[in-house]
A and B are shown apart, each in its own frame.
Chain A
Amino acid sequence: MRIQVRLLFNLKDHAPGGQGQFPLDLPPGTTLGQVLARLGIPPEPAKVLLLNGMQASLDQAPREGDDLVVFPPVEGG
C-alpha cells in the first residue's frame, strides 16, 4: 500500500532525502502513530495530522492513495 506524505516546516528533517514530499509504502493496517514512529517524528508535542485534508488521529490507519500532511502546532496569522 502506498500513501503520499508531506512533512511541513522543521519536520522536513525527518523526510527521506530531506524533501518534504514523498511516497511511502506501508503494510495495510499501519496506523498514523506507526507512520510517525517510522519517520522518527516524536509524538510530543502533538502534531497536526491531516489525512486528505481532514484532521486525523494517531490510531487511524491510512488507505491506499491517501495524502498525509504533518506539521507541528504553529501560531500564525
Chain B
Amino acid sequence: MFGWRDKILRVNLTSGTITSEPLDPALARAYIGGRGLGIAHLLREMDPACDPLSPQNLMVLAVGPLTGTGAPTGARYMVMTKSPLTGAVTCSNSGGQFPAALKKAGWEALIIEGRSPQPVYLWINGGQAELRPASHLWGLDTHRCDDALRAETHAKARTACIGPAGERGVLFASIMNDRDRAAGRSGVGAVMGSKNLKAIAVRGDEPVALHDPAGFKGLVKAILERFQASYPDAPPPLRTYGTAVTVAATQNYGVFPTRNFQQGTFEGWEQISGEALTQKYLRAPKACFACPIACGRATEIKDGPYQGRGEGPEYETVYAMGSDCGISDLAALTKANYLCNELGLDTITMGSTLACAMELSELGLLPQDEVGLGRPLRFGDAAALVELTRLTGLGQGFGQVLGLGSKRLAERYGRPELAMVAKGQEFAGYDPRGEQGMGLAYATSPIGASHMRGDPAYIELLGVPMLIDPHSWQDKPQLVKDWQDSFAVIDAAGLCVFFSVRNLVDKSRAIRPQGIMELLNAATGAGYTLEELCLAGERIFNAERLFLNRAGLDRRHDSLPPRITHEPLPHGPARGRVCHLDEMLAPYYQARGWDQEGRPGPAKLAQLGLGGV
C-alpha cells in the first residue's frame, strides 16, 4: 500500500500476546485513518457500554495516511478509547515526533486490549515489538520515564507514556509523548494506567512509500510557498506568540472565560497574553514533525518561586489556569503547566476544575479544612494553583477530589450546575454566550466540550479562513456540521488543524478539504473525490455518534450549563448575551439527518455505509 502502512499491531495485555494484522484496505479508504480508523475498530470490537477502566475497554492509537510523509504538519496521531471522565468516546490528538516514528516503524495503528497483570511497556523497534516489565518505571514522572526508556531501548527512540496521574486513575490523566506533547483530554492516561501499560517506545526510520512521489513533492512545495507568501511582513503570529496569541482576541471580543465563566473579560489579560509569554519566558519556538509553523513554546522561568524549564503554556492552559482561576501570575501558571506535563494531567480540566472549586469555596460550600491549604481557597490564589496541581497529579490530599474533574466535584458539594462542562468534559477557552457556534460545537462534540472537533472560533472570531458574525445563531447549525465533518477529515488524515484550516481547504464557508484530497491522492493513489472525502468525514462523525448512542448518550447529553444558556454575561462586548443552544439544536439534528433524540436515522446510516455496523 502507498501512504497507509499495510499493518496494524494488536497487543493483548491480558495474555501478553502481540500479533501483526493486515490493514483492511476497504476500511482504510472509507475511514481514511487516524480518528476514523480508530472509531471503526472501537465500534466493531468493543461494547460501548463497558466500564472504561475495565479490561473490556479498548485503546486504539492510530496515525493517518499523511503522518510522517512530509506533508506539512503531517505529525499527528489519535488516541481513541472510552473516556472514564465522560463515558463517551474520546479521540485525543497529539503531535510531536512520536507519531511519525510509529508510522516509520511500519505501523498504521496499535490496538491495545485487556489488562496486564503487572506494569509493562511496549517496545516497538521497526517491525519487531515486545512487552517488557515496567515495575521499575512505575511512579516515574513523564520526563524521567522518557529518559529511562531511551536509555534501555535506543537513544533515538520516541516515547509516549503516562505519569503518576495516569497510574493513579486521575480521570483527566493525559498520555505525554516526546516529553511535553499531550494527548490531553478525557482521561486517556487513566485508561492506559488501568491497563498497567506505562509507556510505548518506538524507533522507526523506514520512509513511507508514496503513490506519486514527484506529484506529492510538487504539492508540498506549492503549499509551503503559498504559506510563506501569506506572511509577507512578519512570521506567523502563532510562531511569534504561540497559541496564547488568542488571549488578545478573546479578551477583546469579551469571550475570555474568567472566574469559572462568571465573566467574559479578565482585567489581568495582558500579563498572561502571548506577548507577555514571549517577552518573559520564551526560549524558542518548537515545531512538531514537518511543521512550518512552530507554535510550541520551549520556555524557562529563570528565578523566583516557580523556577523551572519545560514547554508551554498554550492558550487553553492560559485560560484554564489563568483567567478562569482569576490568576494573572504567568510564572505560576507556567509552572503548573510544567507539573501537568510531568505528572501527566490535562491542563484544561485541571484549571477548570480548580476554578469550579474556587467558586464553591467563595460560596461557602467547600470547607477550608477539606482543601487543606490553611487558608480559604479564593480566585486569584496562584500558590494554590501550583500546590493543588501537584497534589492532583500525585493523587494526594484534596488532589484526590480534584482528580475527579469538575462535574463530580460540583455534584459532591451540591451545586452540579457550577461545573462548566458538556458531557462531563470541561469547556475550552471560549465563552459560548459571545460565540454561538462554539456553544453548539461544545454541546454536540462527541468528546464533550472540546473546541477541536470543529472549531468555530476560527471563523467566528479569528478571521480564518474568513469572518462571520459570532452572535448570530440561525446560520450556525449547518456551519457547525460542516466544520465538524471537515475536522474529522483533518484528524483522520494525520494533519494539524492549525495549518489545515488556512492552507488545505477550499474557499467556502464549509471549508471543504480540497488540499487534503490532493495530498491524500498523491500519497495513497486512492483517487478520492471531494464529495467522497466530505462523506468520509461525515461517516467518522456519525460512527462516533453511534458509539455515544450505544453508550447511553443522546439529546439529553447535548447540553450546556444553565449559566451559559440563561445567565447573561455581566459586562464586556458580549454583555447581556446568552447561548441559544435550544434554538440551534433541532435544526442541527435536521442538518445531520438525526432524529430529535439525537440519533442518526436509518437513511443517514445507509447513506454512510453504517447500516450494518
Contact = CB atoms under 8 A, between A and B. Distances in A.
B394 interface: no
Contacts of B573: 50, 52-54
Contact of A76 (B245, B252, B465, B466): B245
B452 interface: yes
A12 B237 CA distance: 12
Interface string A22-48: 000000000000000000000001111
B244 to A, nearest CB: 8
B594 interface: no
B452 A53 contact: no
B131 to A, nearest CB: 36
Interface string A1-36: 000001011100100000000000000000000000
B469 A55 contact: yes
Contacts of A13: 233-234
Contact of B464 (A8, A47, A55, A75): A75
B498 interface: yes
A60 B241 CA distance: 30
Contacts of B253: 50, 53
B457 A73 contact: no
A74 B574 contact: no
Interface string A46-74: 11101011110000000000000101111
Contact of B240 (A9, A45, A52): A9
> Most chain-B CB neighbours within 10 Å: which of A46, A54, A71, A75?
A75
A74 B238 contact: yes
B246 A77 contact: yes
Given A45-B230, A48-B467, A74-B464, A53 B574 contact: yes
A35 to B, nearest CB: 17
B461 to A, nearest CB: 8
A48 B254 CA distance: 15
Contact of A73 (B233, B464, B469): B464
B451 interface: yes
Contact of A75 (B470, B502, B572, B574): B502
Contacts of A53: 252-254, 572-574
B316 interface: yes
Given A48-B462, A76-B457, A77-B498, A9 B243 contact: no
What 8 pairs across the A-B complex have the smallest Cβ distances? A53-B573, A76-B246, A73-B463, A10-B234, A48-B463, A75-B498, A69-B252, A9-B237
Interface of A: 6, 8-10, 13, 45-48, 50, 52-55, 69, 71-77
25 contacts: A8-B248, A9-B237, A9-B240, A9-B241, A9-B245, A48-B462, A48-B463, A52-B573, A53-B252, A53-B572, A53-B573, A72-B463, A73-B462, A73-B463, A74-B245, A74-B462, A74-B463, A75-B293, A75-B464, A75-B499, A76-B249, A76-B457, A77-B452, A77-B455, A77-B457
